């Protein structure tokens, strides 16, 4: 059962939360949700429309922390040990000539990402079995147990290990052992890799409340409602600093050490961290949990900004005693919540070039994006439609000026339930498209994919006389590939 309390009753100022959320908006963070808990109570929850508390959001590498808990359960059940060699647990996946360093790599070293580490990008590989690919790819270069290096594919192997030894899907195993007791994750799921394994390093899809309940379970070290669901020792080891994870002298927000697929942060906090700033930050010292979802892909400073603002506005001001209730600030915070909307491109509301471009077609020479031609049609100054031909297909992308227009991105064939596997059923990703005149002769469209896959693309068109320059830049894991590059164009 979800419990809500006022911030003040839990020692947190509503005014400080208001400042924090306002700062995220002011700095143009592309937020989708923020949730804060003190003890067992939700003290703040906000969603940037169209996102809501019921939206099942892709959590990306936060999934790795779920895998860690599943590994701990397997160890508790005696299915394998942390110091077992990973190759001994997958003899059927090994081709002749396995790397000598890899032969010695343990489950524990994989949990701490101190692996022999061959960067194992898999989207362009023909092998659909990521576990087989991990063991048999060339490039392992050092003894395991020495240097921390982010090893996403190693997390996928651990997920496959859980499924192998339990005979259950990763989600089903966690649901049976943990989620059903929490009363959450009722509509959650995990996407699959091309060969049908659970996509254990990237594809948990659940609500922000689901994530918060899991964070609470881990920060309670395996106890829920007075009942122990998991071994305490493993979770304490998983959430403490096992290894150093800094590559240089500079301290980044989650470079305070690394546990078992869990990051360490300031004030001995620990965190589950996913691409785009899917975050669950647990601060045992203050019995405080912060969760958020977002798509800040491409903004390298966003994560540090979010967390340092959290500390400056909330954590450094937190009280261990209730504060005096402040109805005026609580109402002000509520009004701010009601106004939250997904980030949209911002710029000039109109341009004299709008009438010059309306209905005019520009043709492109052969180019890397396979963009043949494009036409803008405007609905006054409020928005319009970009019609274009790319890859032999004619497509339309409607937009509003300085606000989002929600619809479906016109590309077909993007992956659905299985990563990298193209669809053939006309499936399209949901999108939000905004546009802004950056200057009189320069119009940018900002596309946000807001589906089970997240990504964004900036489509910039700059005009002079009868010519145009087109610059596309995309930030997405394994799609929008035709939206990266630059080409000239000429008015027909």
Question: If you search the block for the tokens 């496959």, which residue do you land on?
Answer: 160
Using 50, 70 and 90 to split pLDDT, how confident is the model at 124? confident
**CA 53, CA 50: separation in Å to the nearest integer?**
10
Give the strands of the sheet with 270-274, arranged side by side: 41-47, 31-38, 288-294, 278-283, 270-274, 263-264
What pLDDT digit, counting tens, does each position of 426-447 carry? 999 999 999 999 999 999 999 9
When pLDDT is averaged across residues 246-259 and rounded to a whole number, the result is 89
Contacts of 199 (CB under 8 A, 6+ apart): 63, 156, 159, 190, 191, 192, 193, 419
* Domains of the chain, each with CATH number or no CATH: 8-339 (3.40.710.10), 353-491 (2.40.128.20)
What pLDDT digit, counting tens, does each position of 266-296 carry? 999 999 999 999 999 999 999 999 999 999 9
- Asked if the model's pLDDT at residue 119 lies above 80, the reply is no
What pLDDT digit, counting tens, does each position of 438-475 carry? 999 999 999 999 999 999 999 999 999 999 999 999 99
Expressed in angstroms, the distance from the first to the final Cα of the chain is 63
31 φ/ψ angles, rounded to the nearest 5 degrees: -85, 150
Q: For every residue of 387-435, which 3-state class applies, written as one string?
A: EEEECCEEEEEEEEECCCEEEECCCCCCCCCECCCCCCCCCCCEEEEEE
When pLDDT is averaged across residues 350-376 and rounded to a whole number, the result is 98
Question: If you search the block for the tokens 């392992």, which residue do you land on?
Answer: 140
47 φ/ψ angles, rounded to the nearest 5 degrees: -135, 135
Our measurement of the distance from residue 296's CA atom to the centroid of its chain's CA atoms, rounded to an integer in Å, reads 8
pLDDT of residue 154: 95
Using 50, 70 and 90 to split pLDDT, how confident is the model at 140? confident
Cβ atoms 475, 452 nearer than 8 A: no
What pLDDT digit, counting tens, does each position of 287-323 carry? 999 999 999 999 999 999 999 999 999 999 999 999 9
What are 32's two structure tokens? 């989708």
User: Which of 123, 122, 191, 113 lies closest to 154, judged by CA?
Assistant: 113
């Amino acid at each position: 059962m979800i419990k809500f309390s006022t911030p003040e009753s839990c020692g947190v100022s509503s005014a400080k939360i208001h400042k924090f959320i306002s700062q995220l908006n002011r700095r143009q963070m592309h937020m989708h949700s923020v949730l804060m808990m003190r003890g067992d109570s939700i003290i703040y929850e906000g969603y940037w429309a169209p996102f809501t508390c019921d939206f099942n959001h892709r959590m990306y590498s936060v999934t790795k922390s779920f895998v860690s808990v599943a590994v701990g359960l397997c160890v508790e059940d005696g299915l394998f040990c942390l110091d077992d060699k990973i190759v001994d647990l997958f003899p059927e996946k090994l081709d002749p000539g396995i790397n000598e360093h890899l032969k010695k790599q343990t489950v524990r070293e994989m949990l701490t990402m101190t692996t022999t580490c061959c960067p194992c990008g898999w989207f362009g590989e023909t092998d659909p079995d990521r576990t087989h690919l991990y063991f048999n790819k060339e490039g392992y270069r050092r003894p395991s147990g020495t240097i921390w290096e982010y090893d996403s594919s190693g997390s996928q192997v651990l997920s496959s290990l859980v499924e192998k030894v339990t005979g259950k899907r990763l989600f089903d195993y966690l649901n049976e052992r943990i989620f059903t007791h929490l009363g959450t994750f009722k509509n959650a799921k995990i996407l699959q890799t091309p060969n049908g394994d659970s996509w254990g390093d990237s594809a948990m899809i659940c609500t922000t409340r689901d994530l918060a309940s899991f964070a609470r379970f881990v920060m309670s070290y395996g106890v829920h409602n007075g009942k122990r669901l998991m071994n305490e020792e493993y979770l304490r080891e998983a959430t403490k600093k096992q290894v150093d994870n800094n590559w240089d002298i500079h301290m980044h927000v989650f470079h305070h050490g690394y546990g078992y697929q869990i990051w360490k942060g300031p004030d001995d906090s620990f965190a589950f961290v996913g691409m785009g700033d899917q975050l669950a930050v647990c601060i045992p010292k203050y019995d405080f949990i912060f969760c958020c979802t977002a798509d800040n892909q491409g903004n390298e400073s966003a994560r540090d900004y979010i967390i340092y603002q959290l500390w400056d506005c909330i954590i450094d001001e937190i009280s261990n005693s209730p504060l005096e209730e402040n109805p005026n600030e609580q109402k002000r915070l509520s009004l701010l919540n009601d106004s939250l909307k997904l980030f949209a491109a911002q710029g000039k509301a109109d341009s004299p070039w709008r009438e010059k471009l309306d209905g005019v077609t520009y043709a492109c020479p052969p180019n890397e994006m396979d963009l043949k031609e494009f036409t803008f049609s405007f609905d006054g100054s409020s928005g319009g439609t970009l019609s274009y031909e790319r890859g032999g297909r004619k497509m339309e992308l409607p937009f509003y000026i300085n606000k989002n227009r929600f619809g479906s991105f016109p590309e077909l064939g993007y992956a659905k339930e299985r990563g990298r596997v193209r669809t053939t059923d006309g499936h399209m990703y949901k999108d939000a498209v905004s546009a802004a005149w950056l200057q009189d002769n320069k119009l940018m469209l900002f596309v946000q994919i807001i589906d089970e896959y997240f990504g964004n693309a900036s489509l910039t068109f700059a005009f002079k006389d009868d010519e145009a320059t087109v610059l596309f830049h995309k930030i997405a894991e394994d799609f929008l590939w035709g939206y990266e590059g630059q080409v000239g164009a000429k008015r027909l």
